[in-house]
Amino acid sequence: MTEPKTTVFPEQRAGEDRLSFDPIERIDAQLRFIGRIETPWRRGNCPKNVTRARETSQGARVVLEPGFAQGLTGLEVGQGILLFYWMHNARRDLITQRPRHHDSASGTFALRSPNRVNPISLAAVRITSLDMEAGVIGIDAIDCFDGTPLLDIKPSAPAVDVPPEL
């Protein structure tokens, strides 16, 4: 798998702060992409979140790299899964951000923005089709660009995944 192209980022918005170091220089672990997510989305038309993506009624596909298909054993059409993916076009240098719909900045860890030190995203999706031999999963919706690298798949377990009410 080839390394994604480096993206040039626009200037910061008022109230945003950059890290004083390059987080990529402080590598603590290595990750292996297990596949790619095929979507209809590109910069400029990508939904803001999975809820908005579902409203478009446009599904997507997860295509695993060769050798990983056997890991789908036990999954079924209709089942909920969690996809962990690498937002490879996101900024990694912002520690505070001011989304367009906010009046003030918030810390990166207080936002759902894809711009983060480690641009890992999570989506809870439903399996709409499953081709075990090809290692392809059809999903109901997702909010990432076409070709986004996939890190992991886990079965959804609402009793475990949802925190108890306060």
Question: Domain limits of the chain?
Answer: 30-93+113-157
pTM confidence score: 0.84
As a whole number, the mean pLDDT across the chain is 90
> Which superfamily, per CATH, for 30-93+113-157?
YaeB-like (2.40.30.70)
The CA distance from 12 to 31, in Å, is 29
Q: Is the pLDDT of residue 6 over 80?
A: no
Q: Which of 3-12, 82-91, 94-103 has the highest mean pLDDT?
A: 82-91
Q: Is the pLDDT of residue 2 over 70?
A: no
Residue of 31, 154, 25, 140 whose CA lies nearest to 84 = 154
- How does residue 3 score in pLDDT terms, banded at 50, 70 and 90? low
- Over range 114-125, report the average pLDDT: 94
Q: Is the pLDDT of residue 1 over 60?
A: no
How far are the Cα atoms of 39, 42, 49, 60, 91 from residue 56, in angstroms, in the given order?
A: 12, 14, 11, 12, 26
Q: What is the pLDDT of residue 21?
A: 83
The CA distance from 105 to 107, in Å, is 7
Q: What is the pLDDT of residue 41?
A: 95
